[in-house]
Structure 1
Amino acid sequence: MIQEMENNLIPKGSIDLVGFGRLGLRTGINLIQIHRGGPAKITVIDGQKISESDIIFLLKGAEVGTYKSDFLKKLSIHPSDFREVVSITEDISEENIDLITGDVVVIEIAGGNTIPTAAKIIKKAHENGSKTLGTAGIFGIGDEKIIVKDISEFDDSNPAVNELRKEGITKDHLVLTTNTFIRDGIPITPYVLDNIANTLTKEALKLLIEKNNE
């Protein structure tokens, strides 16, 4: 009986990781370690290469000048019929938005004004019937409370949420935030990235289980 239950706990469904920087790598490592379930396919979408300042990548054994998205594929040595990692070495744009195919889409893009791109990703995912989640202000030392709720449940105090709403994202998108922003003059420490990645992983898994049960 136990053996039968174990045999039924196999990876199912797919997760897209859009953006694979310091936060994305942490989330990806969490996902490939999941046992007795989790995603059968993880697609990493990022066109950036590893630089000398990408310390977390270098600590894990990556090489400067190689693609970030390729690194998770290198780390994950599972048989492809158990858990497949697909690396797409492109940044998402309007021209290649059809690359978004996961049952759950985790948006972790950063740098500059990413809101319009994030909104396009969310709209495409929802068009596909997929579930989405992403961040909206995650600066912090590491002891900040992480707020997790649907975008429809926020008030008007979060500027990133407000910008997403202006782009037409008003419901069915899960947002994680410390409610701390670049304007607050607080850095982003490895500790807050660890905490955010762990929470993103948990919430992505909940959405994947929900999607698999539909």
Structure 2
Amino acid sequence: MEKLNNNNDDMVEIKALEDNLKATGTVTVLGAGRLGARVVMDLLEVHRGGFEKIQVFDGAKIDKNDIVHRKYGAKVGDFKTKFLEDYYPEKIIGIPKYVDVENIKYIEGDVIISVIAGGDTLKIRESVLDYALKNDKQFISTNGVFGIEKPVKVEMSQEAKGPVEFMKNMANHTVVGTGGLIKDGEPITPYTLDKMSELIVKTSLKLKK
């Protein structure tokens, strides 16, 4: 009988621990393309903790080349954010707009993940990082997605090599990527994007309050 009571006590303790491991807070993902969609889906699968809400900004619609979205049942012509919100409306808040200086103020995440890239996005990335710093939010961005064998690394921007070197006027922040450039002539593979998503999600959980 004593052994049974001990077992019951253990079960009560385990149940209490499980109840405490609840999802809390919000993460904002800027971009719902090939990498952004992976990040959102991986965030959804975090169990016994993680984020309560996932806010996603992207003004693009799904086209025939958006294979990762279509694998999950998305229809060509749908807004990427609308597809993600419909996929899991209890947790995802889809905003079918590109983040800009006007709507930055609507970013709700305690952690902001920027997976928008390219030379024409540098200005808005600077603005979002500035917003994050002023509002005590954590910021993660990318540092290259090109490469077949290039390792994916999590680094601080001021120490990393690659596309992030064009952002040296930005405050130091966490970056994830291969450091590969489009001029290197290597493709973007799903294996690199999967690894980047894994490390981005793990990093966001470490930075989470």
The question of a shared fold, defined as TM-score above 0.5 by the shorter chain, is answered with: yes
AA in 1 matched with 2:99 = I
Pairing 1:14–2:21 present: no
- Structure 1 runs (4+) greater than 4 angstroms displaced: none
Query: Percent of aligned positions with the same letter in both sequences?
Result: 37
Partner of 2:80: 68
Q: In structure 1, what residue type is equivalent to 2:167?
A: L
- The alignment partner of 1:152 has SS state of coil
Counterpart selection for 2:147 from 140, 145, 153 = 140
Task: Please give the per-residue CA displacement for 1:8-55, whole angstroms capped at 9, x wherever unaligned.
Answer: 000011100001100000010000111101001110010111011111
Deviations 1:174-214 (A, max 9, x none): 01121211010001011111111111111111111xx2xxx
Question: Does structure 2 retain, via aligned residues, the 8 Å contact 1:116–1:164?
Answer: no
Q: 1:55 aligns with which of 67, 70, 73?
A: 67
Looking at structure 2, the residues matched to 16 and 29 of structure 1 have their Cα atoms a distance apart, in angstroms, of 13
After TM superposition, the structure 1 stretch with the greater mean CA deviation from structure 2, 27-36 or 67-76, is: 67-76
Higher relative contact order (CA 8 A, sep 6+): 1
* TM-score normalised by structure 1 residue count: 0.87
Tell me, what secondary structure is at the counterpart of 2:120? Answer: coil
In the TM superposition, residue 153 of structure 1 has moved relative to its aligned partner by 2.8
- CA separation in 2, counterparts of 1:86 and 1:3? 30
Q: Deviations over 1:127-180 (max 9, x none)?
A: 110001010112112x321121112333xx43x2222122xx232x10112121
Query: How far 1:97 moved relative to its partner?
Result: 1.5
Instruction: Name the structure 2 match of 1:161.
Output: 164
> 123, 126, 129: which one pairs with 2:133?
126
Partners of 2:117 and 2:142 within 8 A in 1: no
Q: Please tell me whether the aligned partners of residues 101 and 128 of structure 1 are also in contact (alpha carbons under 8 angstroms).
A: no
Could you tell me whether the CA contact under 8 Å between 1:6 and 1:36 is conserved in 2?
A: yes
- Is it true that 1:86 corresponds to 2:115 in the alignment? no
Render the CA deviation track for 1:63-85: whole Å, top value 9, x for unaligned.
011110112212225xx3xxx21
The question of 1:103 aligning with 2:122 is answered no
CA contact (8 A) 1:100 1:121 kept: no
Matching residue of 2:55: 43
Instruction: For structure 2, list consecutive stretches of 5 or more residues without a partner in the other structure.
Output: 1-12
Q: Distance in 2 between matches of 1:100 and 1:128?
A: 10
Which residue of structure 1 aligns with residue 205 of structure 2?
A: 205
Once residues 158 and 167 of structure 2 are traced to their aligned partners in structure 1, the CA distance between those partners, rounded to angstroms, is 11
1:123 Cα offset (Å): 0.8
Report how far residue 112 of structure 1 moved. Answer: 4.8
The separation in 2 between residues aligned to 1:97 and 1:145, in whole angstroms, is 32
* Stretch of structure 1 that moved more, 145-154 or 39-48: 145-154
2:179 aligned partner = 179
CA distance in 2, matches of 1:123, 1:75: 32
Deviations 1:55-108 (A, max 9, x none): 11111100011110112212225xx3xxx2111111011121112221000000
